Amino acid sequence: MKIITISREFGSGGRELGKRLADALGFSYYDKEIISAIAKESNFDEQYVEETLLRGLTPNYTLTFGHTFAFGPDPIMQNELKILNLQQEIIKELAKKGDCVMVGRTSGSILEEDYDPLKIFVYADLASKLDRCRSRADAGEHLTDRELEKKIRQIDEGRARHQRLFTDKKWGARENYHLCINTTGLEIKSIVPAVRDY
């Protein structure tokens, strides 16, 4: 079984790379499907699930993680912990189905022990990330460069926080991935053949 996980900076094109790579390899692709499955199992709104996973868990007390998260007395914390437990279960269930590419959701850390996935990290310089975000923005979204930069930074900080719940390996540190890809100035589809061959 071959599993590829993709961690990425917001706006770097990691999601597009993951989808194109899955198509090129004939693998299943999981990204938003993970959010939908968590929402269905938890009876929470998909947007709430996505926002919880984007910002990462910020408990008011030290949280110790074993194989599952323990529920604290805070109802909001209980909801967040339920989402995190379901995230693990669903990612592991999807991995059992066969060859796949999973984007985000700390899938590389969650699957590391059982599946030893090929872990990819995708990044880019700020100007490229701003351009990519603007090209994919909803018609009604009119953020200034400063506001968009703040959004990118907040999402990436949330991803790093989220990963710390599952591993002590630093999010984005090159030694924790098999392949790091700088998409600055590159068209994503142009690099897919090289990544597929790798």
β-pairing verdict for 100-103 and 179-182: unpaired
In one-letter notation, the amino acid at residue 51 is E
* Averaged pLDDT of the chain: 89
The confidence score (pLDDT) of residue 62 equals 46
DSSP label at 70?
A: P
User: Which residues, including other chains, have CB under 8 Å from residue 36's CB and lie 6 or more apart?
Assistant: 46
Please count the CA atoms within 13 angstroms of the CA of 118 that sit on its side-chain side.
15
Residue 72 has pLDDT above 70, yes or no: no
Give per-residue pLDDT as tens, 126-165.
Answer: 999 999 999 988 878 888 999 999 999 999 998 998 888 8
- For the stretch 161-184, pLDDT in tens is 888 888 899 999 999 999 999 999
Are β-strands 3-8 and 100-103 bridged in parallel, bridged antiparallel, or unpaired? parallel
Between CA 148 and CA 91 the distance in angstroms is 30
Q: Which carries the bigger pLDDT value, residue 142 or residue 30?
A: 30
Distance CA 149, CA 153 (A): 6
At CA 61, angle to CA 55 and CA 67, rounded to 5?
75
pLDDT confidence tier of residue 75, bands split at 50, 70 and 90: low
